[in-house]
């Protein structure tokens, strides 16, 4: 693979908050702990070591060992789990929903970033161990967000009713999805490998959590990835004090609301807290807990408790209490010896809303790192872009902006009437000056005439551009086609395309190539040519 890079700022697909974060803007430093530089991990290691006890390590390793009895894993993964008992072992974590067949490409990029950062840290701090972790979002309920993936521009979808946490969902009905997907794959060796991977994951496992565990393990076990399903009583017990505080004090609501008030002055808010940021889980139930009329109630059910009743329920059945998006990060940092969370721009944005909350409950806030982002193009596509004289920065432009820019560049006439507009504005400046000397009542009439004439020039410019687009229709079509290939649905490839499209072409070499070429601390958007 050949690598090129452009700044995240030049893609047009990331938020102002992420740009300010990448630029280490002082105004937002209060919303995170340490900036993701290799040298800053030294202090993060010491802080986490001092706040994470050996009992929590033993509980974690035990829970993971039980989980891994379900699947055949690599020796490296088993070693990583065992090493978590040591005070010198730390995790690097990413999280993701249980998307059907991994969902969009960035699922892979998240995990690759996590694996590669663990490697870099081991080189820098050889006295410590660093374990890459994928946190499965088994307690989520947004089935409509995960029940499909995109393959060659078509949606492969799993249609069924759903209730409760998605991890518990039966895989019933995925035989039909497999049939549809299989018919689109062809008969190559790589196609057969994809069929086997899908079949073993979803047709040989009873629920979505086990299926995703198998799939992610198959793809990344050679790199020691540890996958965690934290929806178990053994781990939830370590979270009991926080759950009780949330029920009694609504600490998260108070802290996050304060942060949101400040952040909202300059940035978009990702999540808004509720007064109680917990769900109640039981069988097919996943509903919010609210406090009304001196009772704790589970919405849409007849379940309710007194104060003492719900505290007893927490002590007896902690697994029934599920943190929502506000509290899930805190749960993660309570049960893992974690140094860094790797996520997309939207994820890091809501993590920043939580820093004040972490400080209040005295839990170490992890280093935040924007995951690797990549665009994969073929040599043929790269040659097309070169022939059309489209730069890497240009290809990221929105479609109309790209076409307009290139048509202006390749036209044999000057479509840009900026000179004429500036000349017109200067003429009207003279008229304004004259009116002020004679009769200021003319100023309004002059302004109206200026607007009218400038509008006329803009309309002429649009007509000229439209005419040139027709004249250069072949070039416009080629530019549109290549951009559609690289940016399906007018968005980033990594947010749409499933890994199977590239696996079909490149087979088992795909992931090793990503491991080799994605650099988590580079903080630039990667273009890979294969």
Q: Is the pLDDT of residue 336 over 70?
A: yes
Q: Strands 154-157 and 148-151, how do they pair?
A: antiparallel
> What is residue 203's DSSP assignment?
I
Dist. CA 170–CA 162, nearest whole Å: 9
Residues contacting 431, CB < 8 A, separation 6+: 446
Mean pLDDT score, 409-435:
76
Q: Looking at residue 312, what is its pLDDT?
A: 98
Contact in structure between 314 and 240 (CB atoms under 8 Å)? yes
Residue 341's H or E segment, with its range, is strand 338-343
Q: Is the pLDDT of residue 335 over 60?
A: yes
pLDDT > 70 in the chain, percent:
97
Contact in structure between 510 and 102 (CB atoms under 8 Å)? no
Q: Which of 201, 226, 213 is nearest to 79 (CA)?
A: 226
Residues contacting 35, CB < 8 A, separation 6+: 24, 29, 367
Mean pLDDT score, 182-188:
96
> Any idea which of 98-102, 298-302, 414-418 has the lowest mean pLDDT?
414-418
Helices (H), 396-488: 399-410, 418-438, 443-471, 473-486
Integer angstrom CA distances of residue 270 from 227, 265, 494:
26, 13, 21
Q: Looking at residue 318, what is its pLDDT?
A: 97
Helix (H, G, I), strand (E, B) or coil at 495: helix
Contact in structure between 132 and 338 (CB atoms under 8 Å)? no
pLDDT bucket at 437, cuts 50 / 70 / 90 = confident
Measured N-to-C along each axis, helices 54-68 and 328-335 cross at an angle, to the nearest 10 degrees, of: 100
How far does Cα 481 stand from its chain's mean position?
Answer: 27
Number of separate helices (H) and strands (E) present in the chain:
23, 15
Place of tokens 């518990």: 168
Q: Looking at residue 455, what is its pLDDT?
A: 84
pLDDT bucket at 128, cuts 50 / 70 / 90 = very high
Q: How many CA atoms lie within 13 A of 487 on its CB side?
A: 19
- Dump pLDDT digits (tens) for 284-311: 889 999 999 999 999 999 999 999 999 9
Dist. CA 246–CA 280, nearest whole Å: 13
3-state SS record for 102-161: HCCCHHHHHHHHHHHHHHHHHHHCCCCEEEEEEEECCCCCCHHHCCEEEECCEEEECCCC
Q: Is the pLDDT of residue 453 over 90?
A: no
Integer angstrom CA distances of residue 48 from 61, 136, 240, 363, 525:
17, 22, 20, 9, 30
- Dump pLDDT digits (tens) for 64-88: 999 999 899 999 999 999 999 999 9
Neighbours of 361 (CB within 10 A): 16
Strand partners, 93: 133, 341
pLDDT bucket at 259, cuts 50 / 70 / 90 = very high
Contact in structure between 113 and 369 (CB atoms under 8 Å)? yes
Mean pLDDT score, 101-108:
98
Q: Is the pLDDT of residue 459 over 80?
A: no
């Amino acid at each position: 693979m050949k690598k090129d890079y452009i700044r995240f700022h030049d893609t047009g697909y990331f938020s102002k908050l992420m740009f300010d974060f990448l630029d280490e803007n002082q105004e937002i430093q209060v919303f995170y702990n340490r900036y993701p530089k290799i040298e800053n991990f030294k202090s993060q290691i010491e802080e986490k070591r001092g706040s994470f006890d050996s009992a929590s390590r033993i509980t974690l390793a035990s829970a993971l060992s039980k989980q891994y009895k379900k699947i055949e894993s690599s020796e490296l993964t088993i070693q990583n789990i065992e090493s978590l008992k040591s005070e010198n072992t730390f995790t690097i974590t990413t999280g993701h929903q249980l998307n059907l067949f991994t969902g969009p490409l960035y699922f892979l990029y998240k995990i690759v970033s996590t694996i590669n950062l663990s490697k870099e840290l081991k080189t820098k701090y050889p006295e410590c161990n660093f374990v890459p972790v994928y946190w499965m979002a088994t307690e989520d309920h947004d089935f409509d967000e995960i029940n499909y993936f995109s393959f060659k521009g078509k949606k492969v979808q799993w249609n069924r009713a759903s209730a409760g946490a998605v991890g518990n969902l039966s895989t019933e009905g995925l035989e039909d999805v497999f049939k549809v997907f299989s018919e689109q794959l062809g008969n190559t060796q790589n196609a057969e490998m994809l069929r086997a991977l899908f079949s073993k994951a979803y047709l040989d496992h009873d629920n979505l959590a086990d299926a995703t565990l198998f799939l992610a393990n198959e793809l990344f076990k050679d790199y020691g990835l540890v996958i965690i399903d934290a929806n178990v009583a053994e781990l939830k017990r370590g979270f009991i004090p926080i759950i009780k505080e949330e029920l009694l004090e609504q600490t998260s609501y108070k802290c996050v609301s304060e942060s949101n008030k400040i952040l909202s002055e300059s940035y978009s808010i990702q999540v808004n807290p509720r007064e109680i940021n917990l769900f109640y889980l039981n069988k097919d139930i996943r509903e919010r807990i609210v406090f009304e009329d001196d009772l704790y109630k589970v919405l849409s059910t007849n379940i309710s408790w007194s104060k003492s009743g719900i505290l007893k329920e927490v002590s007896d059945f902690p697994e029934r209490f599920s943190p929502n998006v506000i509290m899930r990060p805190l749960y993660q940092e309570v049960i893992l010896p974690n140094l860094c969370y790797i996520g997309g721009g939207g994820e890091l944005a809501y993590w920043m809303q939580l820093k004040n909350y972490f400080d209040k409950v005295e839990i170490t806030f992890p280093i935040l790192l924007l995951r690797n982002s990549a665009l994969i193009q073929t040599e043929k596509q790269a040659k097309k872009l070169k022939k059309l004289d489209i730069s890497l920065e240009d290809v990221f432009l929105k479609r109309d902006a790209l076409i307009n820019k290139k048509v202006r560049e390749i036209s044999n006439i000057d479509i840009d009437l900026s000179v004429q507009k500036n000349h017109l504005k200067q003429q009207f400046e003279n008229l304004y000056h004259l009116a002020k000397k004679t009769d200021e009542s003319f100023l309004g009439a002059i302004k109206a005439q200026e607007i009218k004439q400038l509008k006329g020039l803009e309309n002429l410019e649009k007509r000229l551009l439209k005419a040139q687009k027709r004249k250069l229709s072949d070039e416009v079509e080629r530019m549109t086609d290549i951009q559609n290939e690289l940016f399906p649905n007018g968005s980033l490839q990594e947010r749409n395309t499933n890994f199977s499209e590239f696996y079909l072409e490149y087979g088992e070499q795909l992931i090793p190539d990503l491991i080799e070429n994605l650099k988590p601390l580079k903080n630039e958007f990667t273009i890979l040519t294969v």
